[in-house]
Amino acid sequence: MPDDTISIREFARREGVSDTLVHQALKKGKLSREPDGRMNPALVGSGWHKEESSAKRFAEAAKNDEELATGAGPVRGVSYGEALRLKENWLALLRRLDYEHKAGSLVEVATAQRVVFDLCREQRDAWLAFPSKVAPFLAVEFGIADLERLTASLAAHVHNQLADLGEPHARFDGEQL
């Protein structure tokens, strides 16, 4: 045996982990063996066993769970442990949604649509009232005697502008409005 390599158990001992974890890392490709089947001691302390961020692991687990639940992924049997993990992940997602809803950082789509509709209606009503409010001031400023004709002309232009704008269509899927 060459002096510059160490056994898997010695590698695990130096790293402060179990040799099972080292074997799993070898299977996943996080670590590699030397040609003689032993480990390079320079890899000790390289951070290979550091966990990925919990957010990344959570997102990957949720994606895998969704594929299993919707049948988008490959059809296969699920072991009891896997089913339990799926259940716990979905319960965690539901608790997270409940928390965000109670904290006020999550709003139901129906509520958001109602708010957007009400705001657009207020703006439309303000524009429809604009000609009758501003026409007397314009008539005095420009010396126009026929106030009714000026009001009707302004109202027609406001109506055309509102028709050009069309109906508001709010999108809540992250796409641009």
- Mind listing the pLDDT tens digit for each residue in 125-160? 999 999 999 999 999 999 999 999 999 999 999 999
Residue carrying structure tokens 């063996």: 33
Cβ neighbourhood burial of 31 (10 Å; 0-12, 13-18, 19+):
buried
Greatest mean pLDDT among 74-78, 100-104, 105-109, 154-158: 154-158
Task: Please work out, in degrees rounded to the nearest 5, the angle formed at the alpha carbon of residue 121 by the alpha carbons of 119 and 126.
Answer: 95
The DSSP annotation for 144-160 comes to -S-HHHHHHHHHHHHHH
Question: Which residues, including other chains, have CB under 8 Å from residue 11's CB and lie 6 or more apart?
Answer: 19, 22, 39, 41, 43, 44
Distance, in Å, from the CA atom of 23 to the CA atom of 9, rounded to the nearest integer, reads 10
pLDDT band of 26, cuts 50, 70, 90: confident
Residue pair 177/171 in contact by the 8 Å Cβ criterion: yes
Question: Which residues, including other chains, have CB under 8 Å from residue 75's CB and lie 6 or more apart?
Answer: none
pLDDT of 174? 63
pTM of the predicted protein model: 0.42
- As a whole number, mean pLDDT of residues 16-29 equals 85
Residue pair 57/65 in contact by the 8 Å Cβ criterion: no
Residue pair 66/72 in contact by the 8 Å Cβ criterion: yes
**Mean pLDDT taken over the chain:** 81
